[in-house]
Structure formats: structure tokens, C-alpha cells
């Protein structure tokens, strides 16, 4: 008998993120044991994650867990887990729209779902925040008469190389995904006083908002930065990162999130005027590392702030006319477009958010974890 437990999984890229996907039935039912297994699978805590599948970065330290849904009208449930390279935490409280893009392809690959036609649309419930989305993938007819997920195509997303088949995500209800509502402080703009060790006290205007992802948005210029710095430059900016964390801890309390020291949210987002034809420039910390791009739901939330009168984006963002509005969110490696549908009776009320992502199956097989962590009584099902 081997000293390790083999767990079926598919390694997948979802949007600009990557990680192993599991059928929930193949993981321990007990949450504590499951988390130990996931940490071992990715090789955390270790900044290189040399003993696991993790890629030594928060964007490649992610896990997707999928199961058939029992909820009326829902096809599959998706649970996202954010791990950190150098920490022993498994955070299932926030969403990840990038990893969500790979949920339906995983379910089709593993037989949890059956293709419907040339395109297949399924409703997915994210268990992290009970948020639903309709996801459409291409499932063309194969030579043998079957249908399969198509990964090759002409769709391009900044932050991922090459092109792939498009995956459309239509979020149905994203306001207050983690917080109590869209504007958890009750205001569209707050003036926040921040004090701490290693820097002079300061005050700053912020918009605390959650339309799929809890964010704290503020002008880069209010932090003495342009907002056009590279991710590398910002990650090396120790002074900025110290002040950002102090601001994050303060606003976390204001947003009703309590002590966020060990939480991966709220994300911290610096904004500036667009300079490449988009609506707004962003630099997003997730929360301690500057994102090379921007997260899916962070982009949705940023776009939402752009339509709110009085937010910190007012006077900075360049917004298109009409309804729906396509908001082009610029980031360090390109842009991310979000289509927002607005309530005609109340143009500040976002009724839908749709966007384009891509995904790809990278590898199928089994990840090995020590049997001392988990030795299931019966063999797991094949991937």
C-alpha cells in the first residue's frame, strides 16, 4: 500500500487564474480535513510551494470544488478556495470569477453535466456567497457524434496568453456578496482617518463597495502615486504597502467585516484616469500583492462604482452613454470590459453584469497527499 492518497483532479486555467479542480465527492466531507488536504495538494505554506501544485503566487494558489446542485433551477454548485503560498489558510468566503469560468468545463469533462448543443448554458451557484451566474460554453459536435468542450478559439483576454474559445458569464445577483449590501458603510464615499506604526497619520476619501467582491477604492494620487506604476514597482513599494494594509484594516471594520488581518478581502484598488481609451485605470492589491491584471468580480465592482454619483470614480472615470454600459477597466497588462445593465428607473442600480472569460484544461490525473492527512475508507471515483 502506498503511503499517499491519490485524489482525482483536473488542473485548469480559469481566466487569469489557475489551480486544481475537484469533484466535491472526492474530497473529505469534514472541512478541517479537507483544508489540510488542499494545503498539502498545493504545497502551502511555502513561498515556492515546491512540494505541491501551487505556482508560488496567489493567482496560482486557487482551488475549484464542484458538485451537482440540489437547488431548484441550478445545475452545479461551485466552491472557490483561496490559498496563499506562504500561509496555512484556506479561505472560502470570497468569490473568484476567473476560476468560476472553468467550473462548467470541469463539470462537462467529468460527466457532472451533459452538453446541450453547439453552445451549452448552465446555471452555477457559487457556494461562497450564494451568488448565481449563467455560464455559456462552446460544445461543438465531434467526429464520433458526441459533444465536447471547445477550448480553441479567437477570444482574447488580457492577462492570459494567446486566444481561446469564449466563455460568457452573466452574473444574476452580485450586490453585497460578502458585506451587508452594495455600500456596506451606507455611504458612496467615506473620509477615513488612518494611523499606525511606520508612517504619518493620514486621511483619505474612499468608496467601500461590494458588487461581487468587497473593494476599497481610492485615487492613486491621494496615496502619492500616479496609478500607472507597474505591478512590479508597486510590489516593491514597501511604504505604500504598509499604508495600504493599515487602510485595509480600518475600512474592514467600517464595512462590517471585523478584523480582516487574516482575510483576503477587502481588495485595495488604486484608480486613475484612463490613458489607453478605457473607462478607468486600476491597480488592484489582492490584498497584499498587486494583481498583474484585475479579478473578474473586482472589475464588476469597479465598474459599478463608476456609475454611482459621488463615488471616488466620479470625475476620474470616462463613461460611455447608453444602457447597457460597457465599462473598460484598464489594468497593468491590458483591460477588462464589463457590460452593466442599469435600471431605467434608477440608473445607479445595476441589474446585471456580463463579461467574457476563457478557460483551458491543462492536465488530468491524481494529486497525491500523505495518507497521514487523509485515508478514505473507499476508493474515490475516477476523474
Q: What is the mean pLDDT of the chain?
A: 95
What does the DSSP assignment read for 21-45?
A: EEEGGGS-SSHHHHHHHHHHHHT-S
CB 13 within 8 A of CB 359: yes
pLDDT-derived band at 347 (thresholds 50, 70, 90) equals confident
Using CA atoms, how far apart are residues 98 and 237, in angstroms rounded to an integer? Answer: 27
Contacts of 211 (CB under 8 A, 6+ apart): 174, 175, 177, 182, 297, 300, 301, 304, 350, 353
| Cell numbers at 12, concatenated | 485548469
Q: Which tens digit of pLDDT belongs to each residue from 204-253? A: 999 999 999 999 999 999 999 999 999 999 999 999 999 999 999 999 99
Q: What pLDDT sits at residue 211?
A: 94
Count other C-beta atoms under 10 Å from residue 326's C-beta.
Answer: 15
- Class assignment of domain 4-166+359-370? alpha beta
Q: What pLDDT sits at residue 307?
A: 92
CATH of domain 190-348: 3.10.310.10
Q: What pLDDT sits at residue 173?
A: 80
- What whole-number percentage of the chain has pLDDT above 90? 90
Dihedral sign from CA coordinates of 164, 129, 266, 193: positive
CB 334 within 8 A of CB 158: yes
Using CA atoms, how far apart are residues 238 and 240, in angstroms rounded to an integer? Answer: 5
Q: What pLDDT sits at residue 24?
A: 98
Strands 334-343 and 202-210: unpaired
Q: What pLDDT sits at residue 379?
A: 54
Reply yes or no on whether the pLDDT at 150 is more than 60: yes
Reply yes or no on whether the pLDDT at 174 is more than 90: no
Mean pLDDT (whole number) for 326-330:
95
Using CA atoms, how far apart are residues 183 and 309, in angstroms rounded to an integer? Answer: 13
* Closest by Cα among 64, 288, 75, 94 to 179: 94
Q: Which tens digit of pLDDT belongs to each residue from 92-104? A: 999 999 999 999 9
Q: What pLDDT sits at residue 300?
A: 95
Q: Which tens digit of pLDDT belongs to each residue from 247-277? A: 999 999 999 999 999 999 999 999 999 999 9
Mean pLDDT (whole number) for 157-179:
92
Q: What pLDDT sits at residue 381?
A: 57
Q: What pLDDT sits at residue 348?
A: 80
Q: Given this chain, do its domains 4-166+359-370 and 190-348 carry the same CATH topology?
A: yes
pLDDT-derived band at 383 (thresholds 50, 70, 90) equals low
Of 96-105, 171-180, 294-303, 361-370, minimum mean pLDDT range: 171-180
Alpha helix positions (H), the chain: 31-42, 97-100, 103-109, 231-235, 238-254, 296-306
Q: Which tens digit of pLDDT belongs to each residue from 187-202? A: 999 999 999 999 999 9
Q: What pLDDT sits at residue 346?
A: 86
Q: Which tens digit of pLDDT belongs to each residue from 269-306? A: 999 999 999 999 999 999 999 999 999 999 999 999 99
Count other C-beta atoms under 10 Å from residue 172's C-beta.
Answer: 14
Mean pLDDT (whole number) for 7-28:
98
Provide the terminal-to-terminal Cα distance of the chain, rounded to the nearest Å: 21
Mean pLDDT (whole number) for 122-129:
96
Every domain of the chain and the residues it spans:
4-166+359-370, 190-348
| Cell numbers at 87, concatenated | 500561509
pLDDT-derived band at 352 (thresholds 50, 70, 90) equals confident
pTM over 0.75: yes
Q: What pLDDT sits at residue 102?
A: 98
Mean pLDDT (whole number) for 360-375:
97
Amino acid at each position: 500500500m502506498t503511503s499517499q492518497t491519490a485524489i482525482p483532479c483536473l488542473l485548469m486555467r480559469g481566466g487569469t487564474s489557475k489551480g486544481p479542480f475537484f469533484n466535491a465527492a472526492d474530497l473529505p466531507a469534514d472541512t478541517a480535513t479537507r483544508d489540510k488536504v488542499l494545503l498539502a495538494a498545493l504545497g502551502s505554506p511555502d513561498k515556492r510551494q515546491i512540494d505541491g501544485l501551487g505556482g508560488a503566487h496567489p493567482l496560482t494558489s486557487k482551488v475549484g470544488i464542484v458538485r451537482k446542485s440540489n437547488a431548484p433551477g441550478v445545475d452545479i454548485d461551485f466552491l472557490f478556495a483561496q490559498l496563499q503560498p506562504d500561509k496555512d489558510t484556506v479561505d472560502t468566503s470570497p468569490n473568484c470569477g476567473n476560476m468560476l469560468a472553468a467550473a462548467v468545463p470541469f463539470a462537462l469533462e467529468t460527466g457532472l453535466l451533459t452538453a446541450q448543443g453547439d453552445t451549452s448554458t448552465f446555471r452555477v451557484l457559487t457556494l461562497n456567497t450564494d451568488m448565481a451566474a449563467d455560464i455559456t460554453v462552446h460544445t461543438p459536435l465531434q467526429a464520433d457524434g458526441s459533444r465536447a468542450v471547445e477550448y480553441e478559439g479567437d477570444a482574447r483576454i488580457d492577462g492570459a496568453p494567446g486566444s481561446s474559445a469564449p466563455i460568457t458569464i452573466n452574473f444574476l445577483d452580485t450586490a453585497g456578496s460578502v458585506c451587508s449590501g452594495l455600500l456596506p458603510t451606507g455611504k458612496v464615499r467615506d473620509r477615513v482617518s488612518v494611523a499606525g506604526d511606520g508612517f504619518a497619520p493620514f486621511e483619505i476619501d474612499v468608496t467601500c463597495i461590494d458588487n461581487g467582491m468587497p473593494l476599497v477604492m481610492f485615487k492613486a494620487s491621494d496615496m502619492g502615486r500616479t496609478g500607472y506604476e507597474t505591478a512590479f514597482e508597486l510590489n516593491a513599494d514597501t511604504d505604500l504597502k504598509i499604508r495600504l494594509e493599515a487602510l485595509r484594516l480600518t475600512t474592514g471594520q467600517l464595512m462590517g467585516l471585523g478584523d480582516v488581518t487574516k482575510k483576503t478581502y477587502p481588495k485595495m484598488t488604486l484608480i486613475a484616469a484612463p490613458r489607453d481609451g478605457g473607462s478607468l485605470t486600476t491597480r488592484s492589491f489582492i490584498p497584499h500583492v498587486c494583481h498583474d491584471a484585475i479579478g473578474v468580480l473586482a472589475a464588476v465592482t469597479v465598474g459599478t462604482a463608476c456609475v454611482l454619483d459621488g463615488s471616488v470614480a466620479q470625475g476620474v472615470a470616462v463613461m460611455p452613454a447608453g444602457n447597457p454600459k460597457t465599462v473598460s477597466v484598464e489594468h497593468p497588462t491590458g483591460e477588462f470590459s464589463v457590460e452593466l445593465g442599469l435600471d431605467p428607473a434608477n440608473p445607479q442600480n445595476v441589474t446585471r453584469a456580463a463579461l467574457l472569460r476563457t478557460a483551458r484544461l491543462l492536465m488530468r490525473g491524481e494529486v497525491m497527499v500523505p495518507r497521514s492527512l487523509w485515508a478514505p475508507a473507499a476508493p474515490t471515483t475516477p476523474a
